[in-house]
Amino acid sequence: MDREPDLPLTRDTILSGRVAAMVRVADPSAHMLSDAELAHSRAELLDDHSGRDLWVFAYGSLIWNPAFHFAERRPARLFGYHRRFCLRTHLGRGTPDRPGLMLGLEAGGSCTGFAYRIDAAAVEQESWVLWKREMILGSYIPRWVVVDGAGPDRRAVTFVINKAHAMYAGRLPRAEIVRTLATAQGMLGRGCDYVFHLVAELSSSGIHDHGLASIAGDIRETQRQGA
């Protein structure tokens, strides 16, 4: 449980295709979006946004590992969605025999995270990094949302859960979430670190998500009991 990730998720590994290649090796049957499909998805959302800065709302690993270049980051709140561990992963922070869990945005409530501003001149390149990072398996749906903290018009892009995806897990019992995150590990690292990094980064900026912090505490306790 203490080994390093097989492949760090960085700008270079994303753009070079190394992440995609490792996914293909890990599960040849996985449906991966082609570059053409990614480009179409991006164009559908951003074609009317040329020449302007782009704001991106981050609620999960983009908070502590965005991979894309940005000009500014601000604490921000999204209304109408909340984060939930509702996406199983058998390739990133899990395996086919022991899938992990990742966060997705579900409708309802609100969510505190960060808004990133990408300069207009960099949107073409940096949004490509973002799409290749977030949309590789089609687990999410890119969407425009209203975010307090994302510039004067409060308009930002984020990635909500794709409920039609085969790995969508819905609402899971808390005990299952904790047990899964405490034990799962894949090519991108441990499930528990996904949570620990997120809680630490939020806390360092004065954002205290009591639900996440409580899950992190239960994960540590589960790991201590299993040691």
DSSP-assigned letter for residue 122: G
Of 203, 199, 204, 205, nearest in space to 220 by CA: 199
CA 186 from centroid of its chain's CA atoms:
15
Cα angle 65, 166, 214 (rounded to 5 degrees) comes to 50
With beta carbons less than 8 A apart as the criterion, state whether 126 and 82 touch: no
- Choose, from 134, 176, 201, 221, the residue flagged as catalytic: 134
Judge contact between 220 and 210, C-beta under 8 A. Answer: no
Both tokens of 68, joined, read: 């894309």
* Per-residue exposure over 178-203, b if at least 16 CB sit within 10 Å of its own CB, e if not: bbbbbbbbbbbbbbbbbbbbbbebbe
Assigned token pair, 23: 């996914």
Exposed / middle / buried, residue 167 (Cβ in 10 Å: 0-12, 13-18, 19+): buried
Let me know if 134 is a catalytic residue.
yes
Other CB atoms within 10 A of residue 96 CB: 11
Active site residues: 134
